[in-house]
Chain A
């Protein structure tokens, strides 16, 4: 960001390159910065992904071949895994919809006093990654968990919440339904009241009104949310692994790479399938969103008319919301109980309570916490720097290719962590660190890079938003009053964008702290492992569950605090923007 200070030198240099750059409104430093960012993205995003695709399509004898895909669909286990993943993805969308659609409808179509509670429901699950709560969910809803023990004792039957694929669906649906809730309520809230009233005026009511007008107008929001949920579940590695469900695509890819070896082609075939699923989901939501912009631009009154629920309706709604709240909170409660319980097995609740697990964690697992802070802090820092520089280059210069670099950086959001992990592993396994035989791929810095690449879109979006709010005239006014490039940067630009950049940093940090897919692939030794890996390893053994849960609580609390900070910061920024003295 110190680049503008050098803009004048480029003009005085009068070389042909300088003149050309001046035409792009850029200095040599800025051009160099763009080049460096482009190279980093090529090295750690484009090449690994291309590598994965190339390997998947290369035959044993070299050259283009579909033989691996043929093998994939001829192998019973892989075929089963494919259908299991599709089934789990679809069923998670169904279960998540059963939770989210009534909540969204309640929120936007009725006068319901518990609206604040529904808003809370919309964020609560997102602060805890599904794999952290998975074991706790087994203790509550499993065959011998709290609920089924009570059901069995009193009513003589059990519900197989957590049996096999059910468990994955249940855990993922409880975690990801907010995506549908948020998208659908936004889309319902954006429908103009007059859209509904004009239909009533022309004779439509009840189900006709809903099916012909409200539903089609809200559908795009729902589809966008549902597609996102499907992709997230399709890509998730840690939850099925922890629930010991291995016959799904992500676990299969992971197991092939880690047990058979990096040369086994099936991991790459699965990666290509995942990329296709992600692209397909994006295409579907784009298609669904084609007509919606018009419905929300002609504004009459805001939002659909809200009906009164009546006493009976209010009671039913309240019971439903409380029930969902209990479900949503159960992994949180479960993980907390697990972290302070002595033994919890074949019992409704732990046998006794202790703080020993936290003591264990603080004596044994300091390295894990330290590593997480180091890795995620570095990754967040890299993201903020690259994000800010790239946002500045895109908004303030006309360098050729800057939009392409931005697009590539943003595309990282659609790349599954597992695929990026496999790509990085494959690309950099043979690259050794100087003077050692440690592969670059499993050096701890690679984790930082993987985190940074996947979170870059958040930081870039935050930086772009912050810079866009900083209208060029604010800088020009400073220069007009005699401030040089450098003092304009330090006195005007930096103070105004700091809040936005910090929010980007926090988001990157918090989401990286609980990422496990790429982590599982790239961690070589426990010494280098971050907290998410630690939770995973602890949770594998019955004795480790207590400390694992304690680690989980620490991670969740950290993420919750960070998320809250990011939220407050972005609120403050928005507030400042609205009060800003800029008449444009």
Chain B
């Protein structure tokens, strides 16, 4: 049965070092949710707390309406796929998958049937009698998934499950994970440090840094409306321009941008590289200092007053683009500017 997950004011530390600081979060039933953050941000720790590995110093964790904070891992019915797969080398594939079902005291015939269907689900029918060491990395990943899905968990937890696969397989597997999750209607929480992976797979993302949730939202909302400097720069590339907003006008060295809504008192603005359009007219004057041709677009580095900016210009046809050292005017749509405090 699929259930929601609620995290209420959870804090956690390893011997004095705080890892999670007052984290609260709601994951809806049937939602594909991602924890995204750099290493050391606490995302894996949070996932492990949901599975019951470690005890929060304070706060509660609820699965559905049940408070599981004090339940040991083996009583939670939360399925976790480990980064290292954690397949037991002394058991065959079938034994690995059957393990959780045996713990649930199912009749033997049911176990056999469920093992078979779990393996078929991940496309490994016929591999039941192999040992983990005889499988490729991708196949091991599928066995780990089948082993977890077989117990029909309330929540599926995935700890960087694709990080040990090569790039091509990673893209294939993430699409397949998404398909399986939709098909089974599972609540899934996915930990990753790869923003592209999170964007591609998740309904919603929680961005973590320094043990705190920085922002929660859909991938598009996070990209378009980052809540702070960390989110703005961690998800995609952003130009952060320090200055001051008074009323609706941003002022800085050589800059004066009117029409920015809801930013009174902010000290910084974030602008995506493709939202700065170089031309002959615009509010900001700049000089081209570096350029890189990247295929789909050209990335320029420009100096505008004391601010260094990254500007992406889509490449269409064989125009030579802007020469190094040329002076340009930059026009910026105030609606695409995010004020940050």
* Residues in chain A within 8 A of chain B (CB atoms): 192, 194-195, 197-205, 208, 212-213, 216-217, 291-295, 298-300, 305
Contacts and interface: CB of A to CB of B under 8 A. Distances in A.
A213 B90 CA distance: 9
Contacts of A295: 88-90
A318 B72 CA distance: 28
Contacts of B127: none
Interface string B127-146: 00001110000000000100
B157 to A, nearest CB: 8
Contacts of B80: 197-198, 201
B99 A202 contact: yes
Contact of A197 (B53, B100, B132): B53
Contacts of A216: 88, 90
Contact of A195 (B73, B79, B86): B86
A204 B99 contact: yes
B99 A194 contact: no
Which of B53, B77, B89, B147 is most buried by chain A, counting CB atoms within 10 A of its CB? B89
Identify whether the interface residues of A are mostly helix, strand, loop, or mixed: helix
A208 B87 CA distance: 17
A217 B90 contact: yes
Given A203-B103, A216-B90, A295-B89, A198 B82 contact: yes
Contacts of A202: 74, 79, 99-100, 103, 147-148, 151
Contacts of B89: 217, 291-292, 294-295
Contacts of A205: 72-74
A195 B88 CA distance: 7
B86 A197 contact: yes
B168 to A, nearest CB: 21
Interface of B: 51-53, 72-75, 77-80, 82-90, 99-100, 103-104, 131-133, 144, 147-148, 151
Contacts of B104: 203
Contacts of B52: 200-201
Nearest to B77: A203
Given A194-B82, A205-B74, A199 B133 contact: no
A30 to B, nearest CB: 40
B90 A203 contact: no
A35 to B, nearest CB: 41
Which of B51, B73, B90, B99 is most buried by chain A, counting CB atoms within 10 A of its CB? B90
A213 B88 contact: yes
B92 to A, nearest CB: 11
A113 to B, nearest CB: 15
A203 B100 contact: yes
Nearest to A200: B73
Nearest to B132: A294
Given A195-B86, A291-B131, 16 more contacts: A194-B85, A197-B53, A197-B82, A199-B99, A200-B72, A201-B74, A202-B147, A203-B77, A203-B100, A216-B90, A217-B89, A291-B90, A291-B133, A298-B86, A299-B84, A300-B84
A300 B77 CA distance: 22
A291 B131 CA distance: 9
A370 B307 CA distance: 82
Nearest to A305: B53
Nearest to A300: B84
Nearest to B80: A201
B131 A204 contact: no
Contact of A300 (B78, B86, B88): B86
A439 to B, nearest CB: 54
Contact of B85 (A208, A293, A298): A298
A216 to B, nearest CB: 5
Contacts of A199: 88, 99
Closest 6 CB pairs of A and B: A202-B100, A300-B84, A203-B103, A194-B86, A294-B89, A198-B86
A497 B6 CA distance: 61
Contacts of B86: 192, 194-195, 197-198, 298, 300
Nearest to B99: A202
16 contacts: A192-B86, A194-B83, A195-B86, A197-B82, A198-B82, A200-B72, A202-B99, A202-B147, A203-B100, A203-B103, A204-B99, A204-B103, A205-B72, A217-B88, A294-B89, A295-B88
Given A291-B90, A292-B89, A294-B89, A201 B133 contact: no
A291 B86 CA distance: 14
A292 B133 CA distance: 10
A202 B115 CA distance: 14
A201 B78 contact: yes
A293 B177 CA distance: 29
